[in-house]
Structure 1
């Protein structure tokens, strides 16, 4: 069984229909819509398909919302669970193909497909585990050459994004995960209200299984980069990044150094 969850917050119903239609026309058997809005006006979406389970929740954050869906997946005995952003969509049998990939690689706990902008350009969402400079420097040092050099290594541009590879940090916009692994790591860390919760989860999954990039499946992502446009979202982003480094280590993080070293060595061998 494959289940999925979408967390919404005052999202327009018509904006959600695209990803909902993708999900209900796939092999996803249950789609949990976790609505963190102050009202339940999105409850009408449950009438779109019998696959949809609508849950109105207090707004305790993005990861907390998805944990509701993850706990339901565990209760249902699902094999895989997919975390979806509201602005994701796909045009083919993405879920079925990713299920087959995971069936073939039982040591893989998380896989992310190729993520493209709607115009077809690659979104560079395969990353090393970040240092403080990776996150703060590229955001607040407006020097183009520095940012390009930093991104080439940190976002693994040199790989071409055209091969299956093990990557220590994958985006939370589309996370296809093995439920028994999610159960072992207890889902998202709910101390992160918004942002960095995907990085933290991917890192914890990577400690007990593989986290893989599979470019043979393509999904599209609007990728609004809200924290670049909204000061409130920027505040959430900065607070979450600080919590992440407080949890894992700022300068002295031996596990980060080793995983990044192993990742780069493996990828450079494939060139």
Structure 2
């Protein structure tokens, strides 16, 4: 056996599918075995692997044991002369395996090898070649000197910025996304250190390879796509915690010896300082829009209270501490409701802002009517403040968009200018799917692979793609994975990356697009086979419906309870739905065999099969589940609830369809 490929998966089913498709092509004609270790994924990965990739060697864990331990499970079974640790959010070229194996065969002192990596926008990833995180190199990186002097041999030592990205060189650290290892080297130095749960294990292993007298190489003669951060999103608090914890483990293990304790102390301080800054930055990025709205709402209340005193009462009518006690509670309630209804999503719509405002205003008025006397000072001011929210919040967003602080409302700016690359059949399918999604776009045409395939409605060939993108001011290029070789996708992405074009890869067999638009953007995943219930706006609508029905069910319980069969669990269901443990309407779990993996839903108090007119004529529960997911409507949920008031005290939950 020449090569053993090891992939650890955790809830990245669709990226894994595309990765394995590229691995299968790269392995043609070679003696290769492929292991996939699944760390207790809950996104249908197991069923996908079983049905679509029966040729892999699958190891299933019933808990997330971490990256190092999962890799070690497969390495212990591997029979290859070389072992490749590969991330599931990568795509390799058709000739990648042949080239890296040939290089390793010619360099017996090479213990490990990494390749040139680009992100989903075609940009070079500097972690393709790294130096050891010595205290000095880590200090320069953590405090920003590496970014200021990206090509310095001193300040950019962490990313070896002085080494050209297109030349083969010896390096210190191999990137864990693509880590080719000589098996005899692993036998000598041992496997991955399982102290590292995620991050840092690649640095530790690279260090031990060099300590054993072997060499690590950066090999740019083949390039892979790494949808950076998809397995663990870079912007999350969990990423910060895991990454800096891994750096601390490495420092303690290799640099906390006598003579290096001062450096170790310094780097620990720097790590904690940078982690604090990162957490603060991410908090502010998430909180600044709610804070702006809170300030605007508080300003509105501050102006309305004295103004209404002058109009309806007399100065001093309201308590002086009103602005410091009661009103902040109303402002917080208003902003939290805006947040829950999706007002702070990255892609916003004017219609969505209006809907969020209406929901927040309604919740504010209902809350006012339910509060005690100490909190009810003036219904008129609350109504006027809600109106002020409408007048202030929408213009504020438009001003922030004009200043570049926010993206323009979806659907209100210019349409994306899109071309697709592939066969005529696949290009047409891409066009139909994009139209089905309902997003605004301007279809420019298709790009075929060869001149002989050109027709009157194509723009040109793949070789001309860079020029086509420039002349037509293309915003987005969609590659058809079944037609365009991975190597050609990578080559053209690199060529067009300087034009700020967005890229997506379309997999018609699996039924999805994958995309990632920058090194700091973890990427987008767009499903189209069953996508209505998966859409963020539908998720929000369903959640808001659940909360509204629960609140009304609680308020109107004296009138509803006489009709409920199991009164004991009626309030339990209300509170479980409010806490997000259940939804009022879920799938029916009576039929567990499904042709297509359905989007995950919370357990339902009621089943979508509980007599809705929308499903009349369908007796197959499997079809009803599919129709419910594919064509979700709030009115369907309301109708099911109205027809099944007697079942609102159900103790049985209709759960998501279980996997086999």
TM bucket, shorter chain: 0.7 to 0.9
* 1:66 aligned onto 2:51: no
**The residue matched to 1:25 in structure 2 has which SS?**
helix
Counterpart residue number, 2:6: 5
Q: 1:257 corresponds to which residue?
A: none
Moved more, 219-228 or 155-164: 219-228
Contact 2:11/2:43, CA 8 A, preserved across alignment: no
Matches within 5 A, 1:174-253: 174-208=178-212, 209-224=214-229, 226=232, 228-250=234-256, 252=259
Shift, 1:143, TM fit: 9.4
Contact 1:113/1:217, CA 8 A, preserved across alignment: yes
Q: CA deviation at 1:223?
A: 1.1
My pick for the range that moved more, 104-113 or 35-44, is 35-44
Q: Which secondary structure state, in structure 2, belongs to the residue aligned with residue 216 of structure 1? A: strand
**CA apart distance, 1:162:** 1.9
- What is the CA deviation profile of residues 84-111 of structure 1, one whole-angstrom value per residue up to 9, with x for unaligned ones? 1111112331001111111111111111
State the partner residue of 2:122: 120
2:176 — aligned with what?
A: 172
Q: In the TM superposition, what is the alpha-carbon distance from 1:218 to its structure 2 partner?
A: 1.2
Q: Greater relative contact order (Cα 8 A, min sep 6): structure 1 or 2?
A: 1
Question: 2:15 corresponds to which residue?
Answer: 15
| Match in the other structure for 2:113 | 111
For the Cα contact (< 8 Å) 2:37–2:59, is it kept in 1?
yes
State which drifts further: 145-154 or 162-171. 145-154
- Deviations 1:145-185 (CA, angstroms, capped at 9, x unpaired): 37775663321222212221111112111011111111222
The equivalent of 2:386 in structure 1 is none
TM-score by length of 2: 0.36
How far the C-alpha of 1:136 sits from its partner, in A, is 5.6
Q: What is the alpha-carbon distance in structure 1 between the residues aligned to residue 145 and residue 165 of structure 2?
A: 26
- Give the RMSD, CA atoms, in angstroms: 2.5
Shift of 1:15: 2.0
How far apart, in 2, do the equivalents of 1:153 and 1:203 lie? 15
Q: Kindly indicate which of the two structures has a greater share of residues assigned to strand.
A: 1
Give secondary structure in 2 for the equivalent of 1:159: coil
CA contact (8 A) 1:3 1:31 kept: yes
How many aligned positions are there? Answer: 249
CA contact (8 A) 1:227 1:237 kept: no
* Residues 186/143 of structure 1: CA separation in 2 closer, same or farther (3 Å cut): closer
Q: In the aligned structure 1, how far is the partner of 2:183 from the partner of 2:145?
A: 41
